Structure 1
Amino acid sequence: MAHLALSAARRWAGLPHAARIAIIYIVARTITTLFLIAAASASTSLSRFGAEPGLASFVLGWDAQWYWTVAEYGYPTELPLTDSGEVAENAWAFMPVFAYVAKIVGMPFGAWGPGAFLISIVAGYFSCLALHRLLRERIGRGAATWAVVFFSAGPLAAMFQVGYAESLFLLLLFLALDAVARRRYAWLYLLVPVMAFTRPGVLAFALYLGLHGILRWWRRRDDPLPSSHVLHIVAAGALATVCGFAWQVIAAVATGDPGAYLATELSWRRNWLAGGVEGFVPFEGWIQASQFWFAQWGMPQAWGPVAVVLIVGGVVATLLCSRSVRALGADLRLWSASYLLYLLAVFFPQSSTFRLLLPISPLWGAVAVPRSRLWRIGVLAACLLGQWTWIHAVYALGNTFWQVP
């Protein structure tokens, strides 16, 4: 048995890393499929998917319906209104790239759904390759491979198999982070605009580029900073900033309403807050949400903002002090900090929070750094348990906005 295990280990080590990651990814997708089948069996008439839905229903469920709407009908030129006269939920909250690419890919099948599934699952595999490339020179090939295992089998792994834009965005993001790390800034002129119109978040990348530029200037004696790099960093940062606000301008021009995009985004927040929302104020969402959730849990609302401060302090301490996080290098820590600050500024935390944390997936590298086999197997078990819990909650039981992926 020991001889067979050693032989298998040698054959595994001899495979190209792309083949190893493909095997890991296929196994992970098989497990996720089994979880989705189990969720379909557990679904009842009380679920939004009905009793025993097919897997295609899950692919087209929740926000995938909005991407399908964009692909089939485009964006409204007149904003829909609620009975109270406020802007209602509409397609302007969803970027066009994934929707239209899925439509093109789905044309041979005569339907949008197969195209969306193929884009998600293929982009998921290539994002695993890109993540491995991003991490392997920082933490070693073995730890990078384990990071890919955790990433591909993590609690939100169903995103690789449904009609959401996350897989495609993660692929573009990992490629952009790798381009910055390797000083191949010219690639950003292609990647940044596509990222910006795939899903929100490119403003966080603009902040990251600014911090990256400051870091490089600070370390210019040890890491020379030629003028060409300065020009690329400034130009790419400006491009990311312009692209980050472009969708708001496009929505304003198309609808004739200067606040169309922000009003659309706030329409989802109104589902959570009694009395509605008057307007967008940076960082206010987390304060409102903390008070809302503490009230739901029967705890004093005043404790909510205190909890937010403690969470932010804990995250900052982890990014600055954790040895395993520091092993990822300054750039990935700066990206994680930039994206988390972006979420803190614009997001109202609720059931979608876990999905919106996917862009900090390079931090799986920090989880993979410890060499203990028991630790890694334990993390994998926790990932699979979390994945089933999440799939069961949002697909088998999902019937209200409390359980949105």
Structure 2
Amino acid sequence: MLAVWAVARAWSAVVLLVVAREQVEVLWVPQDPSYVQYTGLMWDADWYRGIATEGYPDSLPTGPDGRVLQNPWAFYPLYPLLTRGVMALTGASWALAAPTLALVLGAGAALCVHAVVRRGAPRAVAAVPGLPLATVALVGCFPAGPVLQVAYTESLALLLVAGSLLLLLQRRYGWAAVTVVALGFTRAVALPMAVVVLVHAAVRLRAARHAARHATRDGGRGPDRLGPRDGAGLLALLAAAVVSGVAWPLICGWATGVPDGYLRTQAAWRGRPEVVPMVPWLDVARWLWGPAGPWLLVPAGALVVAVLLSPPARRLGAELQAWTAAYLAYLVGVVEPGTSLVRFSLLAFPLGAVAAGAVRGPAWARRLWLGALLVAGAALQLAWTWGLWRLTPPSGWPP
């Protein structure tokens, strides 16, 4: 499995090296930068580097109009702090330590993705042998896959999401709470995990009731009794998901003295002067396609729902289904759609299992389908890196 992941990362490295040769000098890197420079210093990597070396400001910077300007509080602390630890232990520079750490974390994420698909989607694995490995391969060849080996948080976030789901499936709720809290200080994606915990609790409760109805007359309690200890663990895990989902904005408000400082900071990256749910999707649709734009979101949303309700998706376990649906709904609610949406979609990794399981025919047909998906993903990695990671002033779209 790790060999498959290594091949995917090697391809992404080739893509980055090829594109780097056409990179002009910008604020972060010189013309034709080295691989270390290109993976460790571009785009948001510079923000994370500043956090690792200087920390967060005590106050929020503002412009002449009083609006909060872009600042480090938009970026969560766990990844830069971990990198700072690696730098202290090894003496390596940020540009070397940060992408190397991301690469290692990505390998751990691949292991967790493989394990969580194998354990969490038994019906899908029975229908499509080799599905866990195919999912890992598709995640590794995702169009935004190069981000898994640059100084970004995707590798750590993927590791924590897949690890949290795996621990939840293993009913190790205490350790799952630890990973969910860590997720809450990595990316703003912990809240959807609360939905997964509720779904898991409902599944366990239904299984426990079913077991109780079929218990033997001599007092058998059934194999899946939901006892007080498990109930307390689930409540603690649910609380951890909710608290970690709002902890960083609260810390930002407390540290800067501006209660809504985090939202004001996020607004600095947006077209609107404030953060509002869902409305940016309508704004962007109008900007792209005119007055008819918002109506085009209806068939797009219907297509997503159709995928989530398709037979391959229904064969996933309840927890993987819940994470995918909750996370995509969360993106619709809180994200302003743009080019970064491709990168954000990486955390909806169960869709890789859905795509790999779309063909259930003979082995040759499944291999042909998977090969086509992998080739398409590898080609789109080149397009993504060329079009988004490469910056050609005076304008550019963020990856």
Please confirm whether the aligned pair reaches a TM-score higher than 0.5, indicating the same fold.
yes
Is structure 2 residue 104 aligned with structure 1 residue 122? Answer: yes
Partner-residue secondary structure (3-state), 2:277: coil
Q: Is residue 375 of structure 1 aligned with residue 369 of structure 2? A: yes
Q: Distance in 1 between matches of 2:355 and 2:396?
A: 29
Q: 1:87 aligns to what? A: 68
Q: 1:189 aligns with which of 162, 166, 177?
A: 177
Counterparts of 1:2-401 in structure 2, within 5 Å, are: 21-45=1-25, 49-59=29-39, 60-107=41-88, 108-137=90-119, 138=122, 139-140=124-125, 142-222=130-210, 224-269=225-270, 273=271, 276-277=272-273, 279-294=274-289, 300-301=290-291, 303-320=292-309, 322-369=310-357, 370=359, 371=363, 372-399=366-393
Gaps of 5+ in 2: 211-223
Q: How much does 1:397 deviate? A: 4.2
SS in structure 1 of the partner of residue 349 of structure 2:
helix
d(CA) in 2 for partners of 1:226 and 1:334?
23
Contact kept in structure 2, 1:173 and 1:195, CA below 8 Å:
yes
**Which is worse superposed, 86-95 or 128-137?**
128-137
Gap regions ≥5 residues in structure 1: 1-20, 295-299
Q: In structure 2, do the counterparts of structure 1 residues 106 and 63 end up closer, same or farther at CA, with 3 Å as the change threshold?
A: same
| CA deviation string 1:333-382 (max 9, x = no partner) | 11111111111111000010011111111221122223522111100110
CA contact under 8 A between 2:24 and 2:392: conserved in structure 1?
no
Question: Does structure 1 retain, via aligned residues, the 8 Å contact 2:139–2:346?
Answer: no
- Aligned partners of 1:73, 1:397: CA distance in 2, in Å? 26
* Whole-angstrom distance in 1 between the partners of 2:235 and 2:65: 45
Q: Match for 1:384: what amino acid?
A: A
Q: 1:392 is matched by which residue type in structure 2?
A: W
**Structure 1: distance between partners of 2:178 and 2:57:** 28
Distance 2:318 2:394 in 1: 40
Deviation at 1:213, TM superposition (A): 2.4
Deviation of 1:230 after TM superposition, in Å, equals 2.5
Percent of paired sites with the same residue: 32
The aligned residue for residue 404 of structure 1 is 398
Distance 1:305 1:211, change over 3 A: farther
Letter of the 1:23 partner, please give it.
Answer: A
**How far apart, in 2, do the equivalents of 1:55 and 1:260 lie?**
36
Q: Deviations over 1:84-107 (max 9, x none)?
A: 221000000111110011011123
**Structure-2 separation of matches of 1:309 and 1:217:** 35
TM-score normalised over the length of structure 2: 0.88
1:125-173 CA-to-partner distances (Å, cap 9, x unmatched) read 1111111111124243612111111111221111121100110111111
- Relative distance call for 1:102 and 1:86 in structure 2 (3 A) is same
Q: In the alignment, is the contact (CA less than 8 A) between 2:28 and 2:46 conserved in 1?
A: no
1:306 and 1:227, CA in 2 relative to 1: closer, same or farther beyond 3 A? farther
Aligned mates of 2:353, 2:108 — CA distance in 1: 17
**AA partner of residue 394 (structure 1):** L
Contact map agreement 1:136 1:144 (CA 8 A) in 2? yes
- Structure 1 residues 303-349: Cα deviation after superposition (integer angstroms, max 9, x where no partner): 222222322222222212x1111222221111111111111111000
Amino acid across the alignment from 1:319: L
Give the direction of change, closer, same or farther, for the CA distance of 1:288–1:211 in structure 2 (3 Å limit).
farther
Structure 1 residue 212 displacement after superposition: 2.8
Residue 15 of structure 1 corresponds to none
SS state at 1:376 partner: helix
Given that 1:97 and 1:194 are in contact with CA atoms closer than 8 Å, whether structure 2 keeps it comes out as yes
**How far did 1:50 drift?**
4.9
Counterparts of 2:192 and 2:201, CA distance in 1:
14
Q: Is the 2:253–2:262 contact (alpha carbons within 8 Å) kept by the matching residues of 1?
A: yes
